[in-house]
């Protein structure tokens, strides 16, 4: 994975949640981009347990592969991170 440019590791910090349930936490996730990105959505995998998503399993995010029929193909990488932080 570490040599594959289609796999990114992202550390999310300073998230709040609806009731500050993520405040102060650090959440590591992996994003797997398909070879035909940006035309197809990536897969999101949380690596840190967080009470919302199972660690080391794929998670359902609006901009991910579970909702490929709603995926906006023009979304840039920065849009993924912004959307994910807004979701959490």
Task: Look at residues 27, 21, 63, 17 and name the one whose alpha carbon lies nearest to residue 48.
Answer: 27
Residue position matching structure tokens 């490929």 = 68
Our answer to whether residue 85 is catalytic in this structure is no
DSSP E strands in 14-66: the ranges are 26-32, 43-46, 57-58
Residue of 60, 68, 73, 79 marked active site: 60
Q: Which residues are catalytic?
A: 60
């Amino acid at each position: 994975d570490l040599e594959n440019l289609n796999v990114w590791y992202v550390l999310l910090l300073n998230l709040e949640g609806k009731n500050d349930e993520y405040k102060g936490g650090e959440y590591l996730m992996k994003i797997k981009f398909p070879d035909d990105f940006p035309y197809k959505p990536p897969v999101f995998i949380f690596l840190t347990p967080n009470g919302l998503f199972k660690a080391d399993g794929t998670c359902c995010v609006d901009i991910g592969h579970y909702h490929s029929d709603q995926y906006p193909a023009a979304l840039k990488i920065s849009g993924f991170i912004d959307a994910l932080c807004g979701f959490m």
